[in-house]
Amino acid sequence: MTSAQSATATIFARMKAGNDARRTSFGLAERRAALDRLADMVRRNETAIIAALRADLGRPEAEAVLMDYLNTLQEIRHARSHLHRWMKPRRVWPTLATLGASGRIEVQPRGTCLIIAPWNLPFHLALGPLASCLAAGNAAIVKPSELTPASSALIARMIAETFPPDLVAVVEGDKVVAEELLALPFDHIFFTGSPAVGRIVMAAAARTLASVTLELGGKSPVIVGPDADLKQAADWITFGKFLNAGQNCISPDHLYVHVSVKEGLVAALRNRIARAYGNGEASPHLTRIVSPGHAARLAALIADGLDKGARVLLSGGQDGQAVGPQLMEGITPDMRLAQEEIFGPILPIHSFDSIDSVIDAINAREKPLALYVFDRDAARIAEITRRTTSGAVGVNLTLVHYSQLNLPFGGVNGSGIGAAHGHAGFLAFSHERAVLRNRFLLLPILFPPYTPRVLRLIGLVKRFLG
Rounded to the nearest integer, the mean pLDDT of the chain is 96
The whole-number average pLDDT for the span 360-381 is 97
Dist. CA 85–CA 316, nearest whole Å: 49
Categorize the per-residue pLDDT at 164 as very low, low, confident or very high, splitting at 50, 70 and 90: very high
Active site residues: 215, 249
Closest CA to 313 of 286, 274, 370, 359: 274
**Which domains, ranges and CATH numbers included, belong to the chain?**
3-216+416-433 (3.40.605.10), 221-408 (3.40.309.10)
pTM, entire model: 0.95
- Phi/psi-derived region of residue 231, left when phi > 0, alpha when psi is between -120 and 50, beta in every other case: alpha
pLDDT value, residue 277: 95
What confidence tens digit (pLDDT) does each residue in 31-83 have? 999 999 999 999 999 999 999 999 999 999 999 999 999 999 999 999 999 99
Phi/psi for 378 (5° steps) reads -60, -35
Amino acid at 260: S
Q: DSSP label at 69?
A: I
Categorize the per-residue pLDDT at 142 as very low, low, confident or very high, splitting at 50, 70 and 90: very high
Amino acid at 293: G
| CB burial readout 292-317, b (16+ within 10 A) else e | eebbebbeebbebbeeeebeebbebe
H runs (alpha helix) in 58-194: 61-63, 71-87, 124-135, 149-162, 175-182
What confidence tens digit (pLDDT) does each residue in 316-329 have? 999 999 999 999 99
Categorize the per-residue pLDDT at 1 as very low, low, confident or very high, splitting at 50, 70 and 90: low
Phi/psi for 223 (5° steps) reads -115, 125
Residues contacting residue 8 through CB under 8 Å, at least 6 positions apart:
141, 171, 177, 180, 181, 184
The whole-number average pLDDT for the span 167-177 is 96
